[in-house]
Amino acid sequence: MVHTGREANYLAQLGQPVYAPSAIDFSFLDYDVHELSDTQIKKIIEDFGSATKRAIDCGFDGVEIHGANHYLIQQFFSKWSNKRNDFWGGSLEKRMNFAKAVTDKVFKTAKKYAPKDFIIGYRISPEEIHDTVGYTCTNPRN
């Protein structure tokens, strides 16, 4: 299960807004990135639970939470791409809140609806490639 966050270039091609933890002008993107509101964040967390329930209803053996490859969960974890100063960003502990909330929702959904042998994986890549390839970003927009 994944939400691509700022990597949703297909939405940008369709003229739709692209959302991420923070509105940053990323030099490697040719479209604007908008900051998610608290309401949008909570809806995405619920959507991870709904996706888990659909997988269970379809008879899947498990799900994998995709917290890697610079997609939304990793974007929240990243000090580089998460410039928030609220519950969802700032300190390392706060930057972990989104991943923890998603994981909690997935596990609670599985516990309620899935068989006991349902598998939940979590893919993680906390590294930041941007500093090593010369990408830069400007200050967050207001």
Catalytic residues: 71
Report H helices in the chain: 9-13, 38-57, 72-77, 92-95, 97-113, 130-133
Burial of 67 (0-12, 13-18, 19+ CB in 10 A): buried
The helix-helix angle for 97-113 and 38-57 (nearest 10°) equals 30
Phi, psi of 72 (to 5 degrees): -55, -45
